A and B are shown apart, each in its own frame.
Chain A
Amino acid sequence: MANTPDYSWPPMEARKVIGQSPKRLDGPAKASGRARYSSDLNPKDLLFGVYLTCPHAHARVTSVDTSAAEKIQGVTAVHVVSPAGTEIQWQGTEVAAVAAVTEEIARDAVGAIKVVYEVLPHLVKEEDVAQAGARAKAAGEILKGDPAAAFQQAAVVSEGHYGIPVITHCCLEPHGQTIQWQGDSVWAWPSTQDVTHYAGQLGQNLKVPAANVKVKMDYIGGGFGSKFSPDSWGEVCARLSQKSGGRPVRLFLDRATEQRIAGNRPSAYADIKIGGGKDGTITAWESHSWATGGFTGGGSPPLPYILDDSNHPIPNKRLVHTAISTNTGPFRAWRAPNNQQAAYLTCSAVEDFAAKAGLDPLGVFKLNLQYAPKVRQDLYGYQFDKAAELSEWKKLWKLRGQSAGPVKRGLGLGFSAWGGGGHTSQCNVTLHADGSVQVDIGTQDLGTGTRTIITQVAAETLGLPMAAIKLTIGSNDLPPDNASGGSTTVGGVSASTRKAAVNALAKLFDAAAPALGATADQLEAANGQIRVKGSPSKSLTWTAACKKIGAAGKIAETGINDQRNPSRELISSGTGGVQVADVSVDIETGIVKINRYVAVQDCGLIINPRLAESQVYGAVIMGISTALFERRFMDAATGAMLNADMEFYKLAGIGDIGEIKVYMDIRPENDKRGVIGLGEPPAIAICAAVGNAVANAIGVRVPHIPMTPDHVLDALEGRNA
Chain B
Amino acid sequence: MRSKKDPDRSRQAKGNFSRRGFIRGVGIGGGALGTGLLENAAEAAPATAASAGPGPVPITLNINGKPVNLTVEPRVTLLDALRNRLDLTGAKRVCDRGTCGACTVLMNGKSVYSCSVLAIDAQGKAIETIEGIAEPGKLHPVSAAFWNHDAQQCGYCTPGFVMAAKGFLAEHPNPNLEDVEHGLGGNLCRCGTYMGVRQAVLEAARTLKTQGGKNG
A residues with CB within 8 A of B? 23-24, 26-37, 39-40, 42, 48, 50-53, 55, 92, 102-104, 106-108, 110-111, 170-174, 219-224, 254-257, 446-448, 610-611, 614, 617-622, 625, 640, 642-648, 651-655, 657, 660
Contact = CB atoms under 8 A, between A and B. Distances in A.
Contact of B134 (A32, A42, A172, A619): A32
B156 A37 contact: yes
Most chain B Cβ neighbours within 10 Å, of A48, A642, A653: A653
B34 A172 contact: no
Contacts of B195: 617, 621, 657, 660
B31 A102 contact: no
Interface string B78-105: 0010011001011111111101101000
Contacts of A30: 152, 155, 158-159
A519 B75 CA distance: 73
A447 B32 contact: no
Contacts of B152: 24, 27, 30-31, 447
30 contacts: A28-B143, A29-B155, A31-B152, A31-B162, A32-B134, A33-B129, A39-B92, A42-B83, A42-B84, A42-B87, A92-B31, A104-B76, A108-B28, A110-B28, A110-B29, A172-B94, A172-B156, A255-B94, A256-B30, A446-B153, A614-B150, A618-B153, A621-B194, A622-B190, A622-B191, A646-B99, A647-B95, A653-B194, A654-B194, A654-B198
Nearest to A172: B156
B208 interface: no
B97 A111 contact: no
Interface in B193-209: 193-198
Nearest to A32: B143
A55 B147 CA distance: 42
Contact of B99 (A31, A620, A647): A647
A222 B100 CA distance: 15
Nearest to A655: B181
A170 B213 CA distance: 37
B185 to A, nearest CB: 5
A647 B156 contact: no
Main secondary structure of the interface of A (DSSP, over half): loop
Interface string B152-177: 11111111001000000000000000
Interface string B99-119: 110100000000000000000
Contacts of B131: 33-34
B73 interface: yes
A390 to B, nearest CB: 16
A647 B153 CA distance: 22
A598 B201 CA distance: 24
Contacts of A646: 94-95, 97, 99-100, 188
Nearest to A33: B90
Contacts of A640: 34
Given A618-B191, A622-B192, A660-B195, A27 B147 contact: yes
Given A255-B97, A611-B150, A618-B191, A26 B155 contact: yes
Contacts of B159: 30-33
Nearest to B182: A655
B150 A644 contact: no
Closest 8 CB pairs of A and B: A33-B90, A621-B192, A111-B28, A221-B156, A30-B155, A447-B153, A618-B192, A447-B154
Nearest to B32: A256
Nearest to B163: A33
Contact of A610 (B96, B99, B102, B150): B150
Given A111-B29, A221-B92, A654-B181, A645 B99 contact: yes
A625 B30 CA distance: 26
A618 B195 CA distance: 8
Nearest to B29: A107
Contacts of B30: 107, 254, 256
Nearest to B73: A104
Given A32-B134, A646-B188, A256 B31 contact: yes
A28 B139 contact: yes
B11 to A, nearest CB: 25
Contact of A222 (B83, B156, B162, B182): B156
B90 A644 contact: no
Most chain B Cβ neighbours within 10 Å, of A33, A447, A617: A33
Nearest to B154: A447
A447 B190 CA distance: 11
Contacts of B181: 654-655
Contacts of A645: 32, 35, 95, 97, 99
Contact of A654 (B130, B154, B180): B180
A673 to B, nearest CB: 25
B150 A27 contact: yes
Interface string B30-63: 1110110000000000000000000000000000
A4 B1 CA distance: 61
A16 B35 CA distance: 57
B187 interface: yes
Given A24-B152, A33-B162, A224-B190, 13 more contacts: A27-B147, A53-B31, A55-B34, A172-B94, A221-B154, A254-B31, A614-B150, A614-B153, A617-B192, A640-B34, A646-B99, A654-B181, A660-B195
A172 B90 contact: no
B140 interface: yes
Nearest to B84: A103
B23 interface: no
B193 A618 contact: yes
B104 to A, nearest CB: 11
Contact of B158 (A31, A110, A611): A31
Contacts of B180: 654
